[in-house]
Structure 1
Amino acid sequence: MRRCFVLPLFLLLSACAQGVFSVQSPEDWLGDASGAEPTAQTFQQVSQAVGAEARKQCLKQPRRQNCEFRILVDLNPRAPANAYQTLDENGQPVIVFTRSMIRSAQNADELAFVMGHEAAHHVLGHIARQSENASASAAEFGRREQLRGGDAAAIEEAQKLGAKVGVQAYLKDFELEADQLGTIITYNAGYNPLVGAKFFDRIPDPGDKFLGTHPPNEQRVQIVLETAAQLGLAQ
Protein backbone atom coordinates (compact mmCIF):
# COMPACT_ATOMS: atom_id res chain seq x y z
CA MET A 1 0.00 0.00 0.00
CA ARG A 2 1.14 3.50 -0.68
CA ARG A 3 0.83 6.85 1.03
CA CYS A 4 1.58 9.91 -1.03
CA PHE A 5 2.71 13.39 -0.09
CA VAL A 6 2.37 15.06 -3.45
CA LEU A 7 1.73 18.38 -5.19
CA PRO A 8 -1.15 18.58 -4.46
CA LEU A 9 -0.98 16.33 -1.39
CA PHE A 10 -3.26 13.44 -2.27
CA LEU A 11 -3.08 10.33 -0.07
CA LEU A 12 -3.59 7.02 -1.85
CA LEU A 13 -2.97 3.40 -0.94
CA SER A 14 -1.50 1.06 -3.52
CA ALA A 15 1.43 -1.25 -4.20
CA CYS A 16 5.06 -0.29 -3.97
CA ALA A 17 6.28 1.67 -7.00
CA GLN A 18 8.66 0.20 -9.54
CA GLY A 19 11.92 1.77 -10.65
CA VAL A 20 13.31 2.86 -7.29
CA PHE A 21 16.63 2.29 -5.58
CA SER A 22 18.17 2.82 -2.18
CA VAL A 23 19.84 6.18 -1.63
CA GLN A 24 23.58 5.53 -1.29
CA SER A 25 25.63 7.50 -3.82
CA PRO A 26 23.95 10.70 -5.12
CA GLU A 27 25.94 10.72 -8.35
CA ASP A 28 24.17 7.53 -9.41
CA TRP A 29 20.84 9.29 -9.88
CA LEU A 30 21.78 12.85 -10.81
CA GLY A 31 21.78 12.11 -14.52
CA ASP A 32 22.41 15.24 -16.55
CA ALA A 33 20.53 17.53 -14.15
CA SER A 34 22.60 20.69 -14.03
CA GLY A 35 23.45 21.94 -10.55
CA ALA A 36 21.57 19.13 -8.80
CA GLU A 37 24.50 17.64 -6.85
CA PRO A 38 24.10 19.78 -3.70
CA THR A 39 20.42 18.83 -3.61
CA ALA A 40 21.30 15.14 -3.84
CA GLN A 41 23.87 15.42 -1.08
CA THR A 42 21.43 17.32 1.12
CA PHE A 43 18.78 14.68 0.50
CA GLN A 44 21.19 11.96 1.56
CA GLN A 45 22.02 13.83 4.77
CA VAL A 46 18.35 14.42 5.54
CA SER A 47 17.57 10.75 4.86
CA GLN A 48 20.17 9.59 7.36
CA ALA A 49 19.06 12.00 10.09
CA VAL A 50 15.30 11.55 9.66
CA GLY A 51 15.60 7.80 9.16
CA ALA A 52 17.50 7.44 12.43
CA GLU A 53 14.97 9.54 14.38
CA ALA A 54 12.01 7.75 12.78
CA ARG A 55 13.49 4.44 13.92
CA LYS A 56 13.76 5.75 17.48
CA GLN A 57 10.13 6.86 17.46
CA CYS A 58 9.03 3.59 15.91
CA LEU A 59 10.74 1.48 18.58
CA LYS A 60 8.79 3.37 21.27
CA GLN A 61 5.44 2.21 19.91
CA PRO A 62 3.54 -0.63 21.63
CA ARG A 63 2.67 -2.19 18.28
CA ARG A 64 5.35 -4.59 17.13
CA GLN A 65 6.47 -3.63 13.64
CA ASN A 66 9.56 -3.37 11.46
CA CYS A 67 11.37 -0.12 12.28
CA GLU A 68 14.23 -0.34 9.78
CA PHE A 69 13.36 2.42 7.31
CA ARG A 70 14.62 2.50 3.74
CA ILE A 71 14.65 5.82 1.87
CA LEU A 72 14.41 5.35 -1.90
CA VAL A 73 14.44 7.55 -4.98
CA ASP A 74 12.15 6.95 -7.95
CA LEU A 75 14.36 7.04 -11.05
CA ASN A 76 11.56 7.87 -13.47
CA PRO A 77 12.50 11.34 -14.82
CA ARG A 78 8.86 12.03 -15.76
CA ALA A 79 7.37 11.15 -12.37
CA PRO A 80 5.58 14.15 -10.82
CA ALA A 81 6.52 15.64 -7.46
CA ASN A 82 5.59 12.87 -5.07
CA ALA A 83 6.64 11.20 -1.82
CA TYR A 84 4.94 8.29 -0.09
CA GLN A 85 5.33 5.61 2.55
CA THR A 86 4.74 1.95 1.81
CA LEU A 87 5.78 -1.51 2.97
CA ASP A 88 7.81 -4.06 1.05
CA GLU A 89 6.95 -7.76 0.90
CA ASN A 90 8.69 -8.31 4.25
CA GLY A 91 6.83 -5.52 6.02
CA GLN A 92 9.84 -3.20 6.01
CA PRO A 93 8.88 0.50 5.89
CA VAL A 94 9.89 2.25 2.67
CA ILE A 95 9.73 5.96 1.89
CA VAL A 96 9.97 6.90 -1.78
CA PHE A 97 10.70 10.34 -3.24
CA THR A 98 10.60 11.22 -6.90
CA ARG A 99 13.46 13.35 -8.18
CA SER A 100 11.05 16.16 -9.02
CA MET A 101 9.80 16.11 -5.43
CA ILE A 102 13.34 16.47 -4.13
CA ARG A 103 13.99 19.38 -6.45
CA SER A 104 10.70 21.06 -5.56
CA ALA A 105 11.79 21.46 -1.94
CA GLN A 106 13.37 24.84 -1.28
CA ASN A 107 15.58 23.72 1.60
CA ALA A 108 16.62 20.81 3.79
CA ASP A 109 13.93 21.64 6.34
CA GLU A 110 11.18 21.05 3.77
CA LEU A 111 12.73 17.75 2.73
CA ALA A 112 12.97 16.71 6.37
CA PHE A 113 9.39 17.74 7.12
CA VAL A 114 7.94 15.78 4.20
CA MET A 115 10.11 12.78 5.06
CA GLY A 116 9.19 12.99 8.74
CA HIS A 117 5.51 13.13 7.82
CA GLU A 118 5.80 10.01 5.68
CA ALA A 119 7.79 8.17 8.34
CA ALA A 120 5.13 9.08 10.91
CA HIS A 121 2.50 7.20 8.90
CA HIS A 122 4.42 3.98 9.51
CA VAL A 123 5.31 4.75 13.12
CA LEU A 124 1.61 5.29 13.84
CA GLY A 125 0.60 2.12 12.01
CA HIS A 126 -1.68 3.90 9.56
CA ILE A 127 -1.55 1.26 6.82
CA ALA A 128 -2.60 -1.49 9.24
CA ARG A 129 -5.23 0.73 10.85
CA GLN A 130 -6.61 1.68 7.46
CA SER A 131 -6.87 -1.98 6.49
CA GLU A 132 -8.70 -2.72 9.74
CA ASN A 133 -11.11 0.15 9.14
CA ALA A 134 -11.79 -1.03 5.60
CA SER A 135 -12.48 -4.60 6.72
CA ALA A 136 -14.79 -3.57 9.54
CA SER A 137 -16.74 -1.16 7.36
CA ALA A 138 -17.01 -3.67 4.52
CA ALA A 139 -18.42 -6.28 6.90
CA GLU A 140 -20.96 -3.82 8.30
CA PHE A 141 -22.14 -2.65 4.88
CA GLY A 142 -22.41 -6.26 3.72
CA ARG A 143 -24.40 -7.23 6.81
CA ARG A 144 -26.86 -4.39 6.27
CA GLU A 145 -27.37 -5.33 2.64
CA GLN A 146 -27.93 -8.95 3.62
CA LEU A 147 -30.58 -7.89 6.16
CA ARG A 148 -32.28 -5.95 3.38
CA GLY A 149 -32.53 -9.16 1.37
CA GLY A 150 -29.84 -8.36 -1.17
CA ASP A 151 -28.41 -11.14 -3.32
CA ALA A 152 -24.74 -12.13 -3.42
CA ALA A 153 -23.87 -9.52 -6.04
CA ALA A 154 -25.56 -6.74 -4.09
CA ILE A 155 -23.81 -7.80 -0.89
CA GLU A 156 -20.46 -7.80 -2.67
CA GLU A 157 -21.05 -4.29 -4.02
CA ALA A 158 -22.08 -3.11 -0.56
CA GLN A 159 -18.88 -4.57 0.88
CA LYS A 160 -16.80 -2.74 -1.75
CA LEU A 161 -18.53 0.53 -0.92
CA GLY A 162 -18.09 -0.10 2.79
CA ALA A 163 -14.37 -0.73 2.35
CA LYS A 164 -14.02 2.55 0.47
CA VAL A 165 -15.90 4.48 3.13
CA GLY A 166 -13.89 2.79 5.87
CA VAL A 167 -10.65 3.85 4.23
CA GLN A 168 -11.67 7.44 3.56
CA ALA A 169 -13.41 8.10 6.86
CA TYR A 170 -10.16 8.45 8.79
CA LEU A 171 -7.75 9.75 6.15
CA LYS A 172 -7.89 13.34 7.37
CA ASP A 173 -7.35 12.24 10.97
CA PHE A 174 -4.36 10.17 9.90
CA GLU A 175 -2.90 13.16 8.06
CA LEU A 176 -3.12 15.35 11.14
CA GLU A 177 -1.60 12.62 13.29
CA ALA A 178 1.28 12.29 10.84
CA ASP A 179 1.74 16.06 10.74
CA GLN A 180 2.02 16.14 14.54
CA LEU A 181 4.49 13.29 14.88
CA GLY A 182 6.26 14.37 11.70
CA THR A 183 6.91 17.73 13.33
CA ILE A 184 8.54 15.99 16.28
CA ILE A 185 10.62 13.73 14.03
CA THR A 186 11.75 16.71 11.97
CA TYR A 187 12.78 18.68 15.05
CA ASN A 188 14.58 15.81 16.74
CA ALA A 189 16.42 15.06 13.50
CA GLY A 190 17.93 18.54 13.64
CA TYR A 191 15.67 20.46 11.26
CA ASN A 192 13.12 23.24 11.72
CA PRO A 193 9.53 22.04 11.15
CA LEU A 194 8.26 25.62 11.03
CA VAL A 195 10.44 26.25 8.00
CA GLY A 196 9.55 22.84 6.60
CA ALA A 197 5.83 23.53 6.87
CA LYS A 198 6.22 26.45 4.46
CA PHE A 199 5.74 23.71 1.90
CA PHE A 200 2.00 24.09 2.50
CA ASP A 201 2.14 27.65 1.17
CA ARG A 202 2.88 26.35 -2.33
CA ILE A 203 0.26 23.64 -2.71
CA PRO A 204 -3.48 23.88 -3.44
CA ASP A 205 -5.76 23.85 -0.43
CA PRO A 206 -8.06 20.77 -0.57
CA GLY A 207 -10.64 22.48 1.65
CA ASP A 208 -12.80 20.60 4.13
CA LYS A 209 -14.56 18.09 1.87
CA PHE A 210 -16.72 15.27 3.16
CA LEU A 211 -14.71 12.04 2.99
CA GLY A 212 -11.83 14.03 1.53
CA THR A 213 -8.31 12.64 1.60
CA HIS A 214 -6.74 15.65 3.31
CA PRO A 215 -7.77 18.29 5.84
CA PRO A 216 -7.49 21.99 4.94
CA ASN A 217 -3.94 23.30 4.76
CA GLU A 218 -4.72 25.82 7.50
CA GLN A 219 -5.66 23.03 9.88
CA ARG A 220 -2.48 21.12 9.10
CA VAL A 221 -0.30 24.18 9.61
CA GLN A 222 -2.02 24.82 12.93
CA ILE A 223 -1.10 21.33 14.13
CA VAL A 224 2.52 22.00 13.19
CA LEU A 225 2.49 25.36 15.02
CA GLU A 226 0.98 23.87 18.18
CA THR A 227 3.38 20.94 18.22
CA ALA A 228 6.38 23.18 17.52
CA ALA A 229 5.36 25.44 20.41
CA GLN A 230 5.33 22.44 22.72
CA LEU A 231 8.87 21.70 21.55
CA GLY A 232 9.90 25.24 22.43
CA LEU A 233 10.13 26.57 18.89
CA ALA A 234 9.10 30.21 18.42
CA GLN A 235 7.24 31.26 15.28
Structure 2
Amino acid sequence: MQGQHCAVCSNPRRRVKTVADLFVALLRMRYVMLRYCLALAAAAFMAACEPTPMSGPVSTQPEQGQPASFSANESARSFIRVLQTVEPVAERECRVRTSQVNCDFNIVVDDRPGQPANAYQTEDKAGRPVIAFTLALIADARNEDELAFVMGHEAAHHIEGHIARQQQNAVAGAVIFAGLATLSGGDATAVESAQRLGAQVGARTYSKDFELEADALGTIITARAGYNPLRGAEFFTRIPDPGDRFLGTHPPNASRLDTVRRTAAGL
Protein backbone atom coordinates (compact mmCIF):
# COMPACT_ATOMS: atom_id res chain seq x y z
CA MET A 1 0.00 0.00 0.00
CA GLN A 2 1.09 3.60 -0.53
CA GLY A 3 1.61 4.23 3.16
CA GLN A 4 4.24 1.54 3.62
CA HIS A 5 7.47 3.51 3.79
CA CYS A 6 10.52 3.15 5.97
CA ALA A 7 12.44 6.34 5.35
CA VAL A 8 15.41 7.45 7.41
CA CYS A 9 15.40 11.14 8.23
CA SER A 10 18.81 12.64 8.89
CA ASN A 11 19.16 16.00 10.56
CA PRO A 12 22.29 15.83 12.78
CA ARG A 13 22.50 18.41 15.50
CA ARG A 14 25.65 20.46 16.16
CA ARG A 15 28.33 18.30 17.82
CA VAL A 16 30.52 19.52 20.68
CA LYS A 17 33.88 17.79 20.96
CA THR A 18 34.11 16.86 24.64
CA VAL A 19 34.96 13.78 26.67
CA ALA A 20 31.24 13.39 27.33
CA ASP A 21 30.58 13.39 23.58
CA LEU A 22 33.15 10.64 23.11
CA PHE A 23 31.48 8.57 25.84
CA VAL A 24 28.06 9.06 24.25
CA ALA A 25 29.48 8.13 20.87
CA LEU A 26 30.78 4.86 22.28
CA LEU A 27 27.42 4.10 23.83
CA ARG A 28 25.77 4.95 20.53
CA MET A 29 27.60 2.21 18.66
CA ARG A 30 24.61 -0.10 18.97
CA TYR A 31 22.38 2.46 17.28
CA VAL A 32 24.84 2.92 14.43
CA MET A 33 24.59 -0.81 13.86
CA LEU A 34 20.79 -0.69 14.20
CA ARG A 35 20.61 2.09 11.62
CA TYR A 36 22.75 -0.02 9.30
CA CYS A 37 20.53 -3.04 9.89
CA LEU A 38 17.39 -1.03 9.16
CA ALA A 39 18.87 0.11 5.87
CA LEU A 40 19.79 -3.46 4.98
CA ALA A 41 16.39 -4.74 6.04
CA ALA A 42 14.64 -2.22 3.85
CA ALA A 43 16.86 -3.34 0.97
CA ALA A 44 16.28 -7.04 1.73
CA PHE A 45 19.93 -7.67 2.61
CA MET A 46 19.43 -8.43 6.29
CA ALA A 47 21.57 -11.56 6.25
CA ALA A 48 24.70 -9.45 5.96
CA CYS A 49 24.03 -7.59 9.20
CA GLU A 50 25.90 -8.72 12.33
CA PRO A 51 24.97 -6.72 15.46
CA THR A 52 27.42 -5.42 18.04
CA PRO A 53 26.08 -6.39 21.50
CA MET A 54 26.39 -3.03 23.25
CA SER A 55 23.68 -1.31 25.23
CA GLY A 56 22.79 2.25 24.30
CA PRO A 57 21.60 5.42 26.06
CA VAL A 58 17.90 4.65 26.13
CA SER A 59 15.43 6.01 28.66
CA THR A 60 13.76 2.73 29.56
CA GLN A 61 16.45 0.25 30.54
CA PRO A 62 15.35 -3.33 31.31
CA GLU A 63 15.15 -4.14 35.00
CA GLN A 64 17.17 -7.02 36.42
CA GLY A 65 15.55 -10.37 35.70
CA GLN A 66 13.41 -9.01 32.86
CA PRO A 67 13.89 -10.00 29.20
CA ALA A 68 16.37 -7.86 27.29
CA SER A 69 15.58 -5.92 24.15
CA PHE A 70 16.15 -7.31 20.66
CA SER A 71 19.59 -7.37 19.11
CA ALA A 72 20.14 -4.73 16.43
CA ASN A 73 19.44 -7.22 13.65
CA GLU A 74 16.29 -8.52 15.35
CA SER A 75 15.12 -4.95 16.01
CA ALA A 76 15.47 -4.04 12.34
CA ARG A 77 13.64 -7.14 11.17
CA SER A 78 10.86 -6.67 13.72
CA PHE A 79 10.34 -3.00 12.90
CA ILE A 80 10.00 -3.69 9.17
CA ARG A 81 7.63 -6.59 9.86
CA VAL A 82 5.44 -4.54 12.20
CA LEU A 83 5.39 -1.61 9.79
CA GLN A 84 4.21 -3.81 6.93
CA THR A 85 1.49 -5.36 9.11
CA VAL A 86 0.17 -2.44 11.15
CA GLU A 87 0.25 0.37 8.57
CA PRO A 88 -2.44 -1.13 6.30
CA VAL A 89 -4.71 -1.70 9.32
CA ALA A 90 -4.17 1.85 10.56
CA GLU A 91 -4.89 3.20 7.08
CA ARG A 92 -8.08 1.15 6.87
CA GLU A 93 -9.27 2.34 10.29
CA CYS A 94 -8.49 5.91 9.26
CA ARG A 95 -10.58 5.67 6.10
CA VAL A 96 -13.50 4.07 7.93
CA ARG A 97 -13.53 6.57 10.81
CA THR A 98 -12.79 9.82 8.95
CA SER A 99 -13.70 11.72 5.82
CA GLN A 100 -11.53 14.05 3.73
CA VAL A 101 -8.50 13.09 5.82
CA ASN A 102 -5.16 11.95 4.40
CA CYS A 103 -4.75 8.37 5.61
CA ASP A 104 -1.53 7.60 3.71
CA PHE A 105 0.77 7.16 6.70
CA ASN A 106 4.48 7.74 6.18
CA ILE A 107 6.41 5.86 8.88
CA VAL A 108 9.98 7.06 9.31
CA VAL A 109 13.00 6.48 11.52
CA ASP A 110 14.39 9.50 13.37
CA ASP A 111 18.09 8.61 13.39
CA ARG A 112 19.40 11.81 15.01
CA PRO A 113 22.09 10.90 17.55
CA GLY A 114 21.20 11.04 21.22
CA GLN A 115 17.43 11.01 20.83
CA PRO A 116 15.64 9.24 23.71
CA ALA A 117 13.26 6.32 23.27
CA ASN A 118 10.29 8.08 21.73
CA ALA A 119 7.72 8.06 18.95
CA TYR A 120 5.64 10.96 17.72
CA GLN A 121 3.04 11.85 15.11
CA THR A 122 3.06 14.93 12.94
CA GLU A 123 2.16 16.01 9.41
CA ASP A 124 4.33 17.12 6.53
CA LYS A 125 3.74 20.32 4.56
CA ALA A 126 1.31 18.53 2.26
CA GLY A 127 -0.77 17.30 5.21
CA ARG A 128 0.42 13.71 4.99
CA PRO A 129 0.52 11.99 8.40
CA VAL A 130 4.02 11.10 9.59
CA ILE A 131 4.83 8.66 12.39
CA ALA A 132 8.45 8.80 13.58
CA PHE A 133 10.31 6.27 15.74
CA THR A 134 13.67 7.07 17.28
CA LEU A 135 16.37 4.42 17.06
CA ALA A 136 16.38 4.19 20.86
CA LEU A 137 12.72 3.17 20.96
CA ILE A 138 13.15 0.55 18.24
CA ALA A 139 16.18 -0.87 20.05
CA ASP A 140 14.45 -0.80 23.43
CA ALA A 141 11.31 -2.68 22.38
CA ARG A 142 11.15 -6.15 23.91
CA ASN A 143 8.74 -7.65 21.41
CA GLU A 144 6.79 -6.83 18.27
CA ASP A 145 3.61 -6.26 20.28
CA GLU A 146 5.20 -3.17 21.85
CA LEU A 147 6.25 -1.79 18.48
CA ALA A 148 2.78 -2.48 17.10
CA PHE A 149 1.05 -0.80 20.03
CA VAL A 150 3.19 2.33 19.76
CA MET A 151 2.56 2.49 16.02
CA GLY A 152 -1.17 2.06 16.54
CA HIS A 153 -1.18 4.69 19.28
CA GLU A 154 0.55 7.28 17.10
CA ALA A 155 -1.71 6.51 14.14
CA ALA A 156 -4.69 7.00 16.45
CA HIS A 157 -3.55 10.54 17.24
CA HIS A 158 -3.93 11.37 13.55
CA ILE A 159 -7.23 9.54 13.12
CA GLU A 160 -8.70 11.34 16.15
CA GLY A 161 -7.52 14.70 14.78
CA HIS A 162 -5.54 15.55 17.88
CA ILE A 163 -3.12 17.98 16.23
CA ALA A 164 -5.96 20.15 14.90
CA ARG A 165 -7.86 19.93 18.18
CA GLN A 166 -4.77 20.89 20.15
CA GLN A 167 -4.20 23.88 17.89
CA GLN A 168 -7.81 24.98 18.36
CA ASN A 169 -7.42 24.73 22.13
CA ALA A 170 -4.22 26.75 21.97
CA VAL A 171 -5.90 29.51 19.97
CA ALA A 172 -8.85 29.59 22.36
CA GLY A 173 -6.54 29.80 25.37
CA ALA A 174 -4.53 32.59 23.78
CA VAL A 175 -7.66 34.63 23.04
CA ILE A 176 -9.07 34.18 26.55
CA PHE A 177 -5.85 35.04 28.37
CA ALA A 178 -5.15 38.02 26.11
CA GLY A 179 -8.68 39.29 26.72
CA LEU A 180 -8.28 39.01 30.48
CA ALA A 181 -4.96 40.85 30.34
CA THR A 182 -6.53 43.62 28.28
CA LEU A 183 -9.49 43.97 30.65
CA SER A 184 -7.10 44.22 33.60
CA GLY A 185 -5.34 47.15 31.96
CA GLY A 186 -2.20 45.36 30.83
CA ASP A 187 0.07 46.98 28.27
CA ALA A 188 1.03 45.41 24.94
CA THR A 189 3.87 43.41 26.49
CA ALA A 190 1.61 42.02 29.23
CA VAL A 191 -1.07 41.09 26.70
CA GLU A 192 1.49 39.33 24.51
CA SER A 193 2.85 37.38 27.49
CA ALA A 194 -0.67 36.42 28.54
CA GLN A 195 -1.39 35.30 25.00
CA ARG A 196 1.63 33.00 24.97
CA LEU A 197 0.73 31.57 28.37
CA GLY A 198 -2.86 31.05 27.29
CA ALA A 199 -1.74 29.16 24.21
CA GLN A 200 0.39 26.84 26.35
CA VAL A 201 -2.42 26.24 28.83
CA GLY A 202 -4.95 25.70 26.07
CA ALA A 203 -2.75 23.20 24.25
CA ARG A 204 -2.34 21.15 27.43
CA THR A 205 -5.94 21.34 28.65
CA TYR A 206 -7.11 18.11 27.02
CA SER A 207 -3.75 16.49 26.28
CA LYS A 208 -4.33 13.70 28.82
CA ASP A 209 -7.70 12.92 27.26
CA PHE A 210 -6.06 12.82 23.85
CA GLU A 211 -3.50 10.29 25.09
CA LEU A 212 -6.21 8.04 26.52
CA GLU A 213 -8.21 8.29 23.28
CA ALA A 214 -5.09 7.28 21.35
CA ASP A 215 -4.49 4.40 23.75
CA ALA A 216 -8.03 3.12 23.18
CA LEU A 217 -7.97 3.34 19.39
CA GLY A 218 -4.36 2.17 19.34
CA THR A 219 -5.49 -0.95 21.20
CA ILE A 220 -8.07 -1.64 18.48
CA ILE A 221 -5.55 -1.12 15.67
CA THR A 222 -2.98 -3.34 17.40
CA ALA A 223 -5.48 -6.16 17.92
CA ARG A 224 -6.84 -5.99 14.38
CA ALA A 225 -3.29 -6.18 13.06
CA GLY A 226 -2.90 -9.50 14.88
CA TYR A 227 -0.80 -8.31 17.82
CA ASN A 228 -1.50 -8.42 21.55
CA PRO A 229 -2.25 -4.88 22.85
CA LEU A 230 -2.04 -6.00 26.49
CA ARG A 231 1.47 -7.27 25.95
CA GLY A 232 2.27 -4.23 23.85
CA ALA A 233 1.18 -1.83 26.59
CA GLU A 234 3.55 -3.43 29.11
CA PHE A 235 6.11 -0.76 28.26
CA PHE A 236 4.01 1.54 30.49
CA THR A 237 5.37 -0.46 33.43
CA ARG A 238 8.95 0.51 32.47
CA ILE A 239 8.67 4.23 31.84
CA PRO A 240 8.54 6.92 34.54
CA ASP A 241 5.01 7.53 35.79
CA PRO A 242 4.05 11.18 35.12
CA GLY A 243 1.37 11.02 37.81
CA ASP A 244 -1.75 13.16 37.64
CA ARG A 245 -0.08 16.57 37.45
CA PHE A 246 -2.07 19.71 36.73
CA LEU A 247 -1.59 20.60 33.05
CA GLY A 248 0.60 17.54 32.60
CA THR A 249 0.77 16.25 29.04
CA HIS A 250 0.33 12.53 29.83
CA PRO A 251 -2.04 10.69 32.19
CA PRO A 252 -0.82 8.32 34.94
CA ASN A 253 0.46 5.00 33.65
CA ALA A 254 -2.20 3.14 35.65
CA SER A 255 -4.95 5.03 33.81
CA ARG A 256 -3.42 4.18 30.47
CA LEU A 257 -3.10 0.49 31.30
CA ASP A 258 -6.70 0.45 32.53
CA THR A 259 -7.85 2.03 29.25
CA VAL A 260 -6.03 -0.62 27.24
CA ARG A 261 -7.47 -3.46 29.34
CA ARG A 262 -11.04 -2.15 29.12
CA THR A 263 -10.80 -1.58 25.38
CA ALA A 264 -9.25 -4.99 24.73
CA ALA A 265 -11.94 -6.68 26.82
CA GLY A 266 -14.60 -5.20 24.56
CA LEU A 267 -13.10 -6.50 21.33
Q: Could you say what secondary structure the match of 1:212 adopts?
A: coil
Deviations 1:182-227 (A, max 9, x none): 0001001110001101111111111110111111000000000000
Q: Which residue of 2 aligns with 1:223?
A: 259
Q: In structure 1, what is the Cα distance between the partners aligned to 2:146 and 2:99?
A: 29
Please show how residues 45-194 of structure 1 align to structure 2 within 5 Å: 45-194=81-230
Q: Name the aligned partner's letter for residue 52 of structure 1.
A: P
Are the equivalent residues in 1 in contact too, given 2:153–2:215 (CA < 8 A)?
yes
1:38 aligns with 2:68: no
Larger Rg: 2
Q: Could you say what secondary structure the match of 1:73 adopts?
A: strand
Are the equivalent residues in 2 in contact too, given 1:24–1:44 (CA < 8 A)?
no
Q: In structure 1, what is the Cα distance between the partners aligned to 2:171 and 2:209?
A: 18
In structure 2, do the counterparts of structure 1 residues 24 and 36 end up closer, same or farther at CA, with 3 Å as the change threshold?
closer
Q: In structure 2, what is the Cα distance between the partners aligned to 1:61 and 1:44?
A: 26
Q: Could you say what secondary structure the match of 1:60 adopts?
A: helix
TM-score for the superposition, normalised by structure 2: 0.75
Q: Name the aligned partner's letter for residue 187 of structure 1.
A: A
TM-score for the superposition, normalised by structure 1: 0.84
- Which residue, 35, 41, 54 being the options, matches 1:26? 41
Are the equivalent residues in 1 in contact too, given 2:50–2:73 (CA < 8 A)?
no
* CA-CA distance at 1:146 after TM superposition: 1.3
Q: In structure 2, what is the Cα distance between the partners aligned to 1:57 and 1:178?
A: 13
Are the equivalent residues in 2 in contact too, given 1:27–1:37 (CA < 8 A)?
no
Deviations 1:62-113 (A, max 9, x none): 4522110011112234322111111111111111111111111100000000
Consecutive unaligned residues of structure 1, counting only runs of 5 or more, are 1-16
Are the equivalent residues in 1 in contact too, given 2:116–2:134 (CA < 8 A)?
yes
Consecutive unaligned residues of structure 2, counting only runs of 5 or more, are 1-8, 13-34, 53-70
Q: Name the aligned partner's letter for residue 149 of structure 1.
A: G
> How many pairs are equivalent?
214
Q: Which moved more, 1:222-231 or 1:54-63?
A: 54-63
Q: Percent identity?
A: 55
Q: In structure 2, what is the Cα distance between the partners aligned to 1:94 and 1:209?
A: 29
* CA-CA distance at 1:19 after TM superposition: 3.5
Q: In structure 1, what is the Cα distance between the partners aligned to 2:196 and 2:50?
A: 46
